């Protein structure tokens, strides 16, 4: 019985240390996001927001333009991870460890138009703040620029992060039901950061 009591006491000590570590990590993340690095955290949310687009350009032209524009960034750790007939994916990181972030652009051809979606698939944070945030922002802008280079009349639909932040305290903004109501011009999204 004494052995069982000792094992239970040891397990309880480990459990308390585990809870303290989780609490400390949560506290550090909260302080980073709300006090020390609040603007970086908010910009990170905007960077992670997906966007969709509609264009008349063909899928192969869009994939080639996205690849060319991202390759122009000249970051050694940024590389094209995969390419299919309807998707291109980029990773930032070295091959032997998990990437710092991975971004994908998918395309669907419908009649004479192409619909696409940009999304970060995964990313790393330190203290709740995005790692390599400046590179993520540059990749996002270059993909938009590549799409716009193929079709200057492309229609982008952004996420709702920028709209929810401008609501007065205690009020919420109505969500637009029409996606065209959310369309923005290139660069306008980050000009509001």
Give pLDDT tens digits for 10-29. 888 887 777 767 777 777 77
Confidence of residue 34 (pLDDT cuts 50, 70, 90): confident
Asked if residue 155 lies in contact with residue 54, where contact means CB atoms within 8 angstroms, the answer is yes
- On average, the pLDDT of the chain sits at 77
Letter string b/e over residues 87-111, b meaning 16 or more CB atoms within 10 A of that residue's CB: bbebbbbeeeeebbbbbbbbbeeee
pTM for the model stands at 0.67
Confidence of residue 105 (pLDDT cuts 50, 70, 90): very high
Closest-CA residue to 51 (of 159, 178, 184, 190): 159
CA-based radius of gyration for the chain: 22
What pLDDT is recorded for position 27?
72
Q: Report the interhelical angle of 38-48 vs 133-150 (nearest 10°).
A: 30
Q: What is the mean pLDDT of residues 135-144?
A: 92
């Amino acid at each position: 019985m004494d052995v069982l009591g000792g094992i239970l006491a040891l397990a309880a000590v480990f459990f308390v240390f585990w809870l303290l570590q989780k609490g400390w990590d949560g506290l550090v993340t909260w302080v980073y996001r709300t006090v020390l690095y609040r603007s970086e955290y908010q910009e990170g949310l905007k960077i992670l927001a997906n966007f969709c687009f509609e264009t008349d350009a063909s899928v192969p032209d869009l994939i080639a333009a996205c690849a060319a524009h991202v390759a122009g960034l000249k970051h050694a750790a940024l590389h094209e991870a995969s390419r299919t007939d309807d998707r291109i994916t980029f990773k930032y990181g070295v091959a032997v460890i998990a990437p710092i972030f991975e971004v994908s652009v998918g395309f669907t051809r419908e009649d004479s138009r192409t619909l696409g979606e940009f999304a970060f698939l995964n990313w790393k944070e330190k203290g709740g703040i995005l790692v390599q945030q400046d590179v993520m922002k540059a990749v996002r802008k270059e993909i938009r620029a590549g799409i716009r280079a193929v079709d200057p009349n492309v229609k982008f639909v952004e996420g709702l992060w920028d709209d929810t932040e401008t609501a007065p305290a205690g009020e919420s903004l109505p969500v637009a039901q029409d996606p065209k109501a959310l369309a923005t011009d290139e660069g306008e999204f980050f000009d509001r950061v």
